[in-house]
Structure 1
Amino acid sequence: MANYRIATIEGDGIGPEVAQATIKVLSEACGAAKLDFQMFEGGAGHYMKTGQVLPDDTFKACRDLDAILHGAAGLPSVTYPDGTEVGNDLHLRLRFQLDLYANVRPVKLLPGVLSPLRAFQDGGIDYVIIRENTEGLYASRGAGVLLRNEFASDSLVITRKGTERVAKFAFELSRKRRGAPRDGKRRVTVCDKANILRSYAFFRSVCDEVHTGFPDVEIDYAYADAITVHMVKRPDFYDVIVAENMFGDIISDLGAATVGGMGISPSGEIGDANALFQGAHGSAPDIAGQNLASPIATILSGVMMLRWLADRHEDTSLEDAADRVEAAVGVVLSEKRAVPVDLGGKATCSDVTDAICRAMN
């Protein structure tokens, strides 16, 4: 039996709670011997103690082990001299140093979850946002210009290589899916502002070029402002959306809000050789240590990790385990066995975790 080594960083705030919950659920689904969760330090709390947000041994483990599971990072009070948060630097460094160029954000309405969009119920919203993760406006982080405290400037960076590979990732993902809920069609929607800026017009043109290799997948276009309306009024039209870094960041949070919020929204940051998985939420230090956090986002991120490993290693047992966990989450929510606080219930982090484990048996 294969033994997969998972570099695990609990991080800050609720990070340790949701990470431990995920370890418990995945170990239950796969068997204790299948996954070897190896613990490493990192984040704002570690920076306060040592001056390092990402120690060398943590980085080496993230680079060399089979996958990365991250709880959460960041404490608002812990900042660099320029005012930016220290904790965010953990996954940003991993993102750039490991070239995790595709940020994958599933937007799926889970069974039993009430969407603010009243026209949509179970299965009515099911798409994935692919956010280019290493370029765009965020490529300027730490390199912008502040001149005499009067003028500030950051550069928007779009390259052919960066766009080609993230567009290819999006089209390949669409091929693996069942299409949009509305019509069953596989399609990739390119989100940009090609009508205003040359950089986005270039992004769109490169996506068009990549599309020629995927004639079985439709291509669609939406300006970044207009897509926020469409994601609310007709979310069932979407299958896969691909966007520049900042736009992808913004619309993925909107998508999460339409299916119940950040507490149940998973994410993965994927490159050619490495991948990091974490809930889309932050570290929520105000509820840390109180057993109030929802572990569902991190558990579903663990499901993404199992599927990534299954595909990479052709291990169908991991795919089966992922299906079992996802089904158990659906049962727990739809039957109201343990509804977390952020979804209007009273279940603790431990309650939800235990209920998911029982639902798999």
Structure 2
Amino acid sequence: MARYRIATIEGDGIGPEVTQAAMAVLAEACGASTLAFEMLEGGAGHYVKSGAVLPEDTFAGCRDADAILHGAAGLPGVVYPDGTEVGNDLHLRLRFRLDLYANVRPIKLLPGVLSPLRAFEGGGIDYVVVRENTEGLYASRGAGVVLRDEIASDSLVVTRKGTERVARFAFDLAARRSGAPRDGRRRVTVCDKANILRSYAFFRRICDEVHAGYPDIAIDYAYADAITVHMLKRPDFYDVIVAENMFGDIISDLGAATVGGMGISPSGEIGDGHALFQGAHGSAPDIAGQNAASPVATILSGAMMLRWLGDRKGDASLGAAADRVEAAVATTLREGRAVPRDLGGRASCTEVTEAVRRALA
């Protein structure tokens, strides 16, 4: 049986707990001999000890692995001299060095989860935010200017290459999906501020050009401020949303809030040759070591990893395992077998993990 090398960085705070939970579930779903988890150092805690948030041997391990699984990173007060957080720099460095240009955030209301948008419970929220991950406003990371301690500036960068490839990723994803819950229509919504800034008008124009190669998929447009209203009032309209880096960061967190919160929201950072998967939440150091964290986001991120790896390697068994993991999580939540605390339940991280494993078995 094939063995796939998974570079695994537990990181900080609740990172080790949720990573171990995901590893246990994935091993249950795939069989113990399918995935080889290679544990690597990195994160804010490692920076405090060694001065390196991402050691070179960890980067090499990630570069050479079949996929990357990450827990969480960041600790209070651990910052660089310019005030930016050390923990975030772990996956940012991996993102830029491995060219993980598409940040993929599924927004799906799971069975048994109460949404603040009660009118859409029962299958009304199921879309994906695809965020350009290597440029936009965040391309200024570490390169902004502070002049005379009076003026600070960062540059917004939008390139043809970057926009073309993330737009193509979004349209390809829409082609594989079943369409929006409201009407079954496959569509890509371009989120921008093309009415104000030339950089976003350029982003929209490039998306239009890419759309010409996908005549069976509809294209839609929404300004970044307006889409925050639409995501609350008509989330069932959306199928795939593509956005510049910062806008995608903001609206994906809003989407997560409508389906139960960050604790059950998975994410993937995907390039042409590499991919990293982690829960969308932070390191939550206030509950670290208390067995109180929800492992659901990391478990579902692991399912995303299996599906990506199965597609890349032509291994249908990994896609089937991903389906089983997602079904087991849905069963666990729908039947109330173990409801994590951030969803109003009392189950510990360990109890949720074991309930998902039992549902798999």
Task: Using structure 1 for the length normalisation, give the TM-score.
Answer: 1.00
1:44 counterpart = 2:44: yes
SS of 2:146's equivalent? Answer: strand
Match of 2:298 in 1: 298
Is contact 1:74-1:87 (8 Å) kept?
Answer: yes
Shift of 1:76: 2.1
How much does 1:190 deviate? 0.1
The reply on whether 1:132 has 2:160 as its aligned counterpart is: no
Asked whether the equivalents of residues 277 and 305 of structure 1 are also in contact (C-alpha less than 8 Å), the reply is yes
Using the alignment, how far apart are the partners of 1:352 and 1:122 within structure 2? 22
- Following the alignment from structure 1 to structure 2, what is the Cα–Cα distance between the partners of residues 304 and 60? 23
Alignment of 1:65-84 (within 5 A): 65-84=65-84
Question: Counterparts of 1:122 and 1:54 in 2: how far apart (Å)?
Answer: 42
Per the alignment, residue 101 of structure 1 pairs with 101
In the TM superposition, residue 122 of structure 1 has moved relative to its aligned partner by: 2.8
| Cα distance, 1:77 vs structure 2 | 1.1
Post-superposition shift, 1:123?
Answer: 1.6
CA deviation vs aligned residue, 1:253-282 (integer Å, no higher than 9, x gap): 000000000000000000000000000000
Task: Give the Cα–Cα distance (whole angstroms) in 2 for the partners of residues 269 and 99 of structure 1.
Answer: 9
Q: In structure 1, what is the equivalent of residue 212 of structure 2?
A: 212
Gapped runs of 5+ residues in structure 1?
none
| TM score, norm. by length of structure 2 | 1.00
Identify the residue that residue 268 of structure 2 maps to in structure 1: 268
C-alpha distance in structure 2 between counterparts of 1:42 and 1:111, whole Å: 35
The reply to whether residue 90 of structure 1 matches residue 90 of structure 2 is yes
**1:21 alignment partner, SS class:** helix
- Give the drift of 1:174: 0.1
For residues 295 and 123 of structure 2, the distance between their equivalents in structure 1, rounded to whole angstroms, comes to 22
The answer for the alignment partner of 1:167 in structure 2 is 167
Contact 1:53-1:89 within 8 A present in 2 as well: yes
**Counterpart of 2:119 in 1: which secondary structure?**
coil
Q: Residues 43-75 of structure 1, C-alpha deviation per residue, up to 9 Å, x if partnerless? A: 000000000000011000100110000000001
Equivalent residue, structure 2, for 1:9? 9
Equivalent position amino acid for 2:118 in 1: R
Aligned counterparts of 2:223 and 2:118: Cα–Cα separation in 1: 25
| Mapped partners of 2:349, 2:148: distance in 1 | 48
Tell me the distance in 2 between the aligned counterparts of 1:57 and 1:144. Answer: 29
One-letter code aligned to 1:114:
L
Q: Secondary structure at the match of 1:119?
A: helix
Q: Following the alignment from structure 2 to structure 1, what is the Cα–Cα distance between the partners of residues 310 and 172?
A: 16
How far apart, CA to CA, are the structure 2 residues paired with 1:106 and 1:190?
16
1:121: Cα distance to partner?
Answer: 1.0
CA root-mean-square deviation: 0.4
Q: Within 5 A, what are the aligned runs for 1:1-361?
A: 1-361=1-361
d(CA) in 2 for partners of 1:167 and 1:218?
13
CA distance in 2, matches of 1:110, 1:39: 31
Aligned residues: 361
- Paired with 1:38 and 1:122, the residues of 2 have a C-alpha distance of 39
Mapped to 2, the partners of 1:118 and 1:48 lie a distance apart of 45
Aligned-residue offset at 1:124: 0.9
Is the 8 Å Cα contact of residues 112 and 122 (structure 1) preserved in structure 2?
no
Residue 237 of structure 1: how far off its partner (Å):
0.1
Look up the equivalent residue of 2:294 and give its one-letter code. S
Distance (Å, rounded) in 1 between the aligned partners of 2:349 and 2:339: 10
Q: In the TM superposition, what whole-angstrom CA distance separates every residue of 1:147-183 from its partner, at most 9, and x where no partner exists?
A: 0111111000000000000000000000000000000
The structure 1 segments of at least 4 consecutive aligned residues displaced by more than 3 Å after TM superposition are none
Q: Is the 8 A contact 1:143 1:154 kept in 2?
A: yes
2: CA distance, partners of 1:54 / 1:303: 25
Distance 2:76 2:195 in 1: 37
Per-residue CA shift, 1:276-297, capped at 9, x if unaligned? Answer: 0000000000000000000000
Unaligned runs of 5+ in 2: none
| Alignment partners' CA distance in 2, 1:10 and 1:74 | 11
Whole-Å separation in 1 of the counterparts to 2:348 and 2:118: 27
Structure 1, residues 82-114: CA drift from partner, whole Å, max 9, x if none?
111101000000000000000000000000000
Could you tell me how far apart the structure 1 residues matched to 2:112 and 2:96 are? 37
- Structure 2: distance between partners of 1:271 and 1:118: 36
- Output the CA distance in 2 between the equivalents of 1:272 and 1:312: 10
